Structure 1
Amino acid sequence: MTNSSSTEHVGSASPIESPLVELRGVTCGYGDRVILENISLTVPRGKIVALMGTSGGGKTTVLRLIGRQLTPMSGQVLLGGQDLASLDGKALMSVRRRMGMLFQFGALFTDLTVFENVAFPLREHTKLPESIIRDLVLMKLNAVGLRGARDLLPSQISGGMSRRVALARAMALDPELMLYDEPFAGLDPISMGISARLIRELNDTMGLTSVIVSHDVDETFLIADHIVLLANGRIVAQGTPDEMRASADPLVQQFVQAAPDGPVRFHYPAMDAGQDFGVRG
């Protein structure tokens, strides 16, 4: 496990094969507010890298940089060695087709059936005949265990099932890279376990590379190859799940153990309680 400055990298890619995703000295924010400062990391091909840490630490901002919803103030975001900031509209859309995105609560179209939701990206971005689209949709639904739910509306299935439909839709175009924003949020333990297993199995069987933003320590540590802990806009620690669990770093231990106090304080800084409540000595 590495207690690192923000310039250290996640894992080590093969000396022959370059990483799929790379952030080089990225500083990024919203307006004048800096969220990430001088972040450098790599995401090796075929691996699952989890971004974890305190709220507001910049995890979702990293996903937005990879999808180029944001561009860095400085530094580079590379996909397959290509600088995303240099792409024009057509080239950017082509690159985004190589990505699949699972939004936090699925974001299904509520007035479309399960089948139509998964078929949507195929109809929007390909000229495949309907017979081929039908077969592809059923294959994707079968992979997430929901081929039998094809004719149901999102309102007729559970939250966990909706998340799996959204996963099938995200995989419809056979992406090279999968991005997950809080894939376990709001799920019961059974659905959470199913979702985690699916993410790992699909990553391995389809040869995907995955970046997961998650607060769920147990499920994420079970499936991730590398954990990156972000706090205050910097990478404060990184390593395998076992290395993170064994870390003596107080912030890592507070996060892993969900301790209420530590480097991240329960009480927001305030004046002395006696002064605030007017207690006189």
Structure 2
Amino acid sequence: MADAPIVLLHGFYHGSWAWTEVIAELAARGRAGVAVDMAAHGLLAKSPLAAHRRPFDPAAYATEPSPVAGIGLDAAADLLIAQLSRAGGGNPVSVVTHSMGGAVLTRAAEREPALVSHMVYLAAYMPATGTPCLAYPSLPEGSSNRFMPLLVGDPAATGALRIDPRSPDPAVQDAIREAFYGDVDPSTAAAAAALLSCDAPLAMVTDSTELTAHGWGSLPRSYVVCTEDRTLPAPLQRLFIRQADAAFPANLTRVVELPASHSAFLSVPGRVAELLADLP
């Protein structure tokens, strides 16, 4: 439906707030956008108790089991499917996703392809069939990422990929900005970092989705490669595209390259909206 809203799904640690500027830019171009929270994120986020205790105990923070441990792709897809159904009134809508939101969209679209008219992966995980997202950062194409060094504690013990966005250590704050907000205005980057949640469920990156020609593989898809990304390096983004096109050669990915870092929705929201405005 041409008048259906574009649904916007964020990535790990963020929330629907991440799309505020893009929504405004879409509105200026006559398109409605609706941002939704991913499971265990945004208004659905939960933190370990140690995150709020004072004095702060780094050892407790690094070892406390996560309250969102065990939330995997099926639970996240359940929520997204409900959000898509509500946004489109049961009719298909275009969906734009970022970073780890890509794995959630992939699972939801495979399960309910009738709810999706077009998928846009903006510097997002677009995992190959049967491949968990956790397999990618260690590949040669992803090994230069600046994200993995942010992790606190042992994910296998906490059940989460935990970061410390509230750390007073300038080196930690610099590392977060370097990973997520390389070309974002410093004041905007600082404000965004202050809104980040600390836990992302490990199960979301260890789960995988079996893709089919009548499910995910049947849907039109676009990929926006953010060439300056330091969390999902551009070679890794291009690997996702090659794998998808090899699996479904009759339904190739439309590719656009954008000279932006990981959070293009904050650094160049007008350009992102321009790319999205003509979606069906």
Q: TM-score, normalised by structure 2?
A: 0.26
**If you compute each CA radius of gyration, which structure gives the higher value, 1 or 2?**
1
- Name the one with the larger strand percent: 1
Q: TM-score, normalised by structure 1?
A: 0.26
